[in-house]
Amino acid sequence: MIPYVNSLLSAWGRWVVRNQDGGVGWATCSPMFRDGLAGVMPAESRPPIGVGGNVDDCEFTDKAIKRLDEGDRDLIKATYVDRLKVKEIAAKFGWHRQRVSERLNVAGDRLLGHMNDIAADL
């Protein structure tokens, strides 16, 4: 997988999880503050440094992912949203483990092509 595409998909996966769980994505407060005063809510936590991902980049990546065929979308979702291990992905799709990385490389190349098309207004 192209490192740039991998980083975009990693940020996109976290963005999807945050959107699915109502914006949490990670703990809203540190465990040491869970026993804080009743009715007093600490400020909402922020993403750890380097984890946030630019929302515009994630929305752009999401548009490109929607252009992929269903098989590629399912593979990317299993890898970056569900965060399944290679062995679990291989079992889910009925592939050999080596096929997972091969298919991810192909899906990443297709995704980059769709991103270029979107950027060029095609």
Residue 71: predicted pLDDT: 95
With respect to residue 74, please indicate whether it lies within any of the assigned structural domains. yes
Sequence-separated (6 or more) residues with CB below 8 Å from residue 31: none
Question: In this structure, what CATH number is given to the domain that contains residue 93?
Answer: 1.10.10.10
pLDDT grade for 21, boundaries at 50, 70 and 90: low
For the ranges 10-24, 30-44, 57-71, the maximum mean pLDDT occurs at 57-71
- Choose among 1, 118, 101: nearest CA to 61: 118
Residue 28 domain-assigned (yes or no): no
Q: Is 47 part of a structural domain of the chain?
A: no
Distance separating alpha carbons of residues 17 and 58, to the nearest angstrom: 12
118 is a domain residue: yes
| Contact predicate 6/112, CB 8 Å | no
Is 36 within a domain? Answer: no
* Residue 90 in domain: yes
Place of tokens 């269903």: 70
Query: How many independent structural domains does the chain possess?
Result: 1
Q: How far apart are CA 110 and CA 101, in angstroms?
A: 14
pLDDT (tens digit per residue) in 49-88:
444 557 788 889 999 999 999 999 999 999 999 999 999 9
Q: What is the pLDDT of residue 40?
A: 53
Of the candidates 54, 42, 52, 104, the one whose C-alpha atom is nearest the C-alpha of residue 74 is: 104
